[in-house]
Structure 1
Amino acid sequence: MTASVPTILVLAGKRDGALDPLADRAGVSHKAVIPVAGKPLISHVLGRIEEAWDDAKIIVSIHDAHVLDHVAIVRRLREAGRLEIVEAQGGLVDSVDAAARTAEWPLLITTGDNALVTVDALHTINAVGDERGADAVIGVVSREAIQAAYPYKQKGFYEFRDVAISNCNLFWLRDRRALAAAEPFRGGGQFAKRKGELRRAFGLMSLIRFRFKMDTLDGTMRRLSRRFGVPMAAYLFEDGRLAIDVDNEESFRATEELMAADANSA
């Protein structure tokens, strides 16, 4: 089966509209353009997308489009007619909704800080929906794989009966109806720290089952599929690096160290 070429949405706005500490340290307004391994952060993401598909439409959601004016790959992709910039909204789901108005389906969503994303991961998440008969797919990585890739001290995990995972900022939606699957992320996705939002999105019984690790990861996906009326699946990647986005000082350091190791081994 040959998967359809997706539209790729890169979420690069400010979380809650606030200045990110890494951006503040670098003297820029958006984390997406902080220098990482000698290039603006978002350049790494766009470079992998360009390698993955030479004809896919790319949408970048950001609060201020002008901050991307100096990013060479953004200019080149815009001049080629492949990249569109849309204004980010107040929340993550609202930003996805706004960007999806000009998208062709399926829609593959990632983030502007997902610097270690790979071509293989992009191709895989795009194919899994058809292979599993799902309308929405979330890419995840196990705690063991992440720790093997980099010895994290701060990273939190979502724990299920069979596995502890972190998401890797890769999401796939088959069509507009599948946007209902984004509802759990309306509060920003930080549900482990926001019990009220988790209860509102998932329901009380699902919250209880999650807190006490009563379900497997696949079991939870089946429960969420019933709740939102959208067939959902989680794909467990083996590459722990995929869960390392540039989110704080530790992950910034991890990303640069791993990129340097790649360069030295090339």
Structure 2
Amino acid sequence: MTPSAIILAGSRPGGDPFAESVGVPHKALISLDGSTLLERVVSALRAAGIKRISVSCNAGPVAELARALQVATISAENGPSGSVAAAFKELGAPMIVTTSDHALLRKEWVGELIDKTPETADLSVMLAERSAIERALPSARRTYLRFSDGDWSGCNLFYLRTPRAGKAIDIWATVEADRKRPWRIAARLGVSTLIQMLFRRLSLSEGVARLGDRIGINATLVSATDGLAAVDVDKLEDLEAVRQILLERRNDPSEN
């Protein structure tokens, strides 16, 4: 069964200073190579064979752009977890979750997430290991989760494969708040898990599996082959890096 997809494009309370600094009210409206970030994400999902695509957003220019791109809109809730919950209620499983600032999103990454998710899994999350990110973009400065099998960074790609994956949304807000303090997440899984993580005796795949067990689902890690999958546009430095990558692609015959 082909999954649907939700693109998170909600507005922050008080606006987005970064987006406003480059002359647009929302990051989804930033233009690269003549296409907005939202348009690039929609195009990548369509190229991956996903036909039912919705955008989680507030009323305004992002919603207008979504309609122009002929994709549905779902009202954004408070925070990404609330928006995912609303989308999952409407779209159901299986469902891909990504973000409107995933400027370099490629159909291959979406396919890799789907294809590498075991049939026994309810939920999978794509992350990239530090060496893969630095190989693809040496100048990248990311926040990493440190485990025994390396340092990892999120790729803003999730696959809610079965209805049971909805259980994970309930704790998404908590994980969201602690994503840069992973020891707090580990602490919720018990003292032994926390100790193993602090001493780097716990692999990320083991951590994801344990978190899934605590929730009551089968959760799995999908390691991104391409480190660029972890690159999004959160600040001007990211935007400039993405522009340089796109310029190099235009000048690379193998990309044309």
CA distance in 1 between counterparts of 2:89 and 2:60 reads 18
Q: Among residues 13, 36, 39, which one is paired with 2:10 in the alignment? A: 13
8 Å Cα contact 2:193-2:202 kept in structure 1: no
Aligned pair in 2 of structure 1 residues 87, 106: CA closer, same or farther (>3 Å)?
same
1:77, CA displacement in angstroms? 4.2
1:139, CA displacement in angstroms? 0.5
1:45 and 2:41 are equivalent in the alignment: yes
Q: Deviations over 1:27-62 (max 9, x none)?
A: 322211122333211111111111111x62111001
1:255, CA displacement in angstroms? 1.0
Q: Deviations over 1:80-123 (max 9, x none)?
A: xxx21011111111111111122042011111011111111111
Aligned pair in 2 of structure 1 residues 45, 218: CA closer, same or farther (>3 Å)?
same
8 Å Cα contact 2:5-2:96 kept in structure 1: yes
1:86 and 2:82 are equivalent in the alignment: no
1:10, CA displacement in angstroms? 0.5
8 Å Cα contact 2:175-2:185 kept in structure 1: no
Q: Among residues 12, 21, 26, which one is paired with 1:25 in the alignment? A: 21
Q: TM-score if structure 1 supplies the norm length?
A: 0.86
Aligned pair in 2 of structure 1 residues 196, 38: CA closer, same or farther (>3 Å)?
same
Residue correspondence of structure 1 range 107-256 to structure 2 within 5 A: 107-129=95-117, 131=118, 133-152=120-139, 154-187=141-174, 189-194=176-181, 198=185, 202=189, 205-256=192-243
2:51 corresponds in structure 1 to: 56
Instruction: Give the CA RMSD over aligned residues.
Output: 2.3
CA distance in 2 between counterparts of 1:24 and 1:164 reads 32
1:197, CA displacement in angstroms? 6.2
5+ residue gaps, structure 2, are: none
In structure 1, the residue corresponding to 2:251 is in which secondary structure? helix
CA distance in 2 between counterparts of 1:260 and 1:21 reads 26
In structure 2, the residue corresponding to 1:45 is in which secondary structure? helix
Q: TM-score if structure 2 supplies the norm length?
A: 0.89
Paired positions, count = 253
In structure 2, the residue corresponding to 1:101 is in which secondary structure? helix
1:193, CA displacement in angstroms? 3.7
Q: Deviations over 1:207-230 (max 9, x none)?
A: 443333220122112211211111
CA distance in 1 between counterparts of 2:247 and 2:239 reads 12
CA distance in 2 between counterparts of 1:77 and 1:153 reads 31
In structure 2, the residue corresponding to 1:102 is in which secondary structure? helix
In structure 1, the residue corresponding to 2:78 is in which secondary structure? coil
Q: Among residues 61, 66, 71, which one is paired with 2:61 in the alignment? A: 66
8 Å Cα contact 1:184-1:202 kept in structure 2: no
Q: Deviations over 1:221-258 (max 9, x none)?
A: 22112111110000111201110011112211111111
8 Å Cα contact 1:187-1:197 kept in structure 2: no
